[in-house]
A and B are shown apart, each in its own frame.
Chain A
Amino acid sequence: MPVKTAIVGVGQTDYRFKRTDVTIQELAVEASLKALEHAGMTMEDIDAFVIGIAPDALLGINAVDRWIGEALGVTPRPLLRVNTGGTTGAAAAQAGYAHVASGMARRVLVVAADKVSESPDAQWVLNTAMDPIYERSVALNAINMCSFQAVRQMDHYKVTERQLASVAVRSRKHAQLNPHAHLRAPISLDDVLSSRYVCWPLKLLDCCPRSSGACAVIMAAEPVVRANHSRAAWIRGMGATSNTIYMGDKMGPGRDVDHADWDELAMAAARAYQQAGITDPIRQIDVAEIYAPFTCTEIAAVEALGFAKKGTGGLMSEQGMFDMNGALPVNPSGGVLSANPISATALARVAEAALQVMGDAGARQVPGAHQAVATGIGGTLQFHTCMVLASDT
């Protein structure tokens, strides 16, 4: 049996376009110290460290874990660096959870940091993450790979650009409640619909910003939690799936899943829900923090998580189901559309979900939130994670 594990501390820097006052290591330390303070611990209490850093070329520092690790004072404790692209932060949380649940560590610090604005264009870097033989030279990047999803949603399910825009408007409305969010100015449907096309059908305001910032969480084993912590976010379920880098395999006549959908996330969620005893997600989940860097990706995710039937996620968004006062609030933090420090983004979903069930989410708190779900995605929409957190075991 795995050791029951909970998040007992969360630390986030503000997410901003630039942080010229600190280096990447100082940024990671800033979030880590905040998490330790929230948990009432010091660095000496930590048994093991997990660092989540997405592709090094985003920062332009190769093997940056070598620099960050020592800044945290890891010596002589174990350090693990995790990279699964956009999923990195969630995969780091998954690795931290494995440390504690396996009994190998009692207290683990998981930290992720990024300064995406230090290179002028992340999309070129993300293009180099594509298959170099067959696909890199046809200009694939992270935006157009999601545009392919949106095009198929519009074709298969008649998703409209207005439905996509409703996701952006709500995210920005929620971001006004979150002091950490990078983009907080309110936007209207017309603002989104009249913003310029970046990669058709995605417009500028369908897309996330490039952000700098760091996020840290501290996980602890049940005996530690029981002895020291009055509030905790218990990890009740964790699922993850991977699939091919080739998006075209999810489009042709032989496809087993469709690039329009996230059946892979549904599989990860099924595993996490089964562990958590969730059979009726809409009733049993109080709030969701979804990794959705583009409006279309949130629509795929709410369907995969069982919040809406396949093909209806856009309509449910437009009708307000995922608003703060809706049936199932999604991304009270403002989500990825309001801040995307790539390495830290998926960990921020876990952190925000934890804050919700700990009752520490401030102005963005969903009243009485008991159970929350956090997701991550990365690669060519190929890596998916789903974590269920709750206020009790």
Chain B
Amino acid sequence: MGQDERLDAPLIHSGEWKIHYDYAVGETATRFFLHLRDEGKIAGKKCPSCKAVLVPPRAYCERCFVKTEEWVDVGPEGTIEAFTIVYEPFDGLPPPPYVVAYVTLDGATTAMANFVTGLDLSVPEVAARELAVGKRVEAVFSDEREGMITDFHYRLK
């Protein structure tokens, strides 16, 4: 076959993955989410060895490899450890702008991610100053809770 101009635009075949999964979250996360949904409270699990209060809770301490048993309520206030303000739209993710932050809830050893709401994000530099590392926030719970991490979000104190 000789030169073929049609090869300047090779054919494209489109495809799509749409696959449903039902994730069993396990007993530990089930207790966490039911406590969140029914009591409006956030709890971590304490490692009997290193005493870390792991939030989000885990069945085993990843450092000590021992089973965690004790539940400890944390928050609802906490401290911002890191944040970002998302201004770019991404397929399949929420419409911007929005804030995601890691917050160490009072009594926790680790930080947990969630959205921060209630800010004017129109000027990035101004919004970023409001959100500095070390700023205090509180967990605010939705009225209609489903047993999901998005049943709460953070708001600046």
Contact = CB atoms under 8 A, between A and B. Distances in A.
Interface string B62-101: 1100000000000000000111111110111110001010
Contact of A124 (B62, B88, B91, B148): B91
Contact of A138 (B17, B54, B100): B100
B91 to A, nearest CB: 4
B34 interface: no
Interface residues of B, number: 52
A135 interface: yes
B91 A133 contact: no
Nearest to A61: B15
B64 to A, nearest CB: 12
B128 A253 contact: no
Contacts of A199: 84-88
A127 B55 CA distance: 20
Contacts of B127: 200
A155 B82 CA distance: 9
B93 A139 contact: yes
A249 interface: yes
B92 A127 contact: yes
Nearest to B94: A139
A41 B123 CA distance: 58
B56 interface: yes
B84 A21 contact: no
Contacts of A121: 90-92
A67 interface: no
B113 interface: yes
Given A120-B91, A121-B91, A138-B100, A151 B113 contact: no
A144 B17 contact: no
Nearest to B114: A138
Nearest to A145: B84
Most buried by B among A124, A196, A247, A251: A251
Interface string B109-124: 1111111000000001
A151 B133 contact: yes
Interface string A157-185: 00000000000000000000000000000
Contact of A254 (B29, B93, B109): B109
Interface in B1-28: 7, 9-10, 12, 15, 17, 21, 23, 25-26
10 contacts: A60-B17, A123-B90, A134-B29, A137-B148, A139-B94, A151-B84, A152-B82, A197-B85, A198-B87, A252-B108
Interface of A: 20-21, 57, 60, 120-121, 123-124, 127, 132-135, 137-141, 143-144, 147-149, 151-152, 155, 196-202, 244, 246-249, 251-256, 259
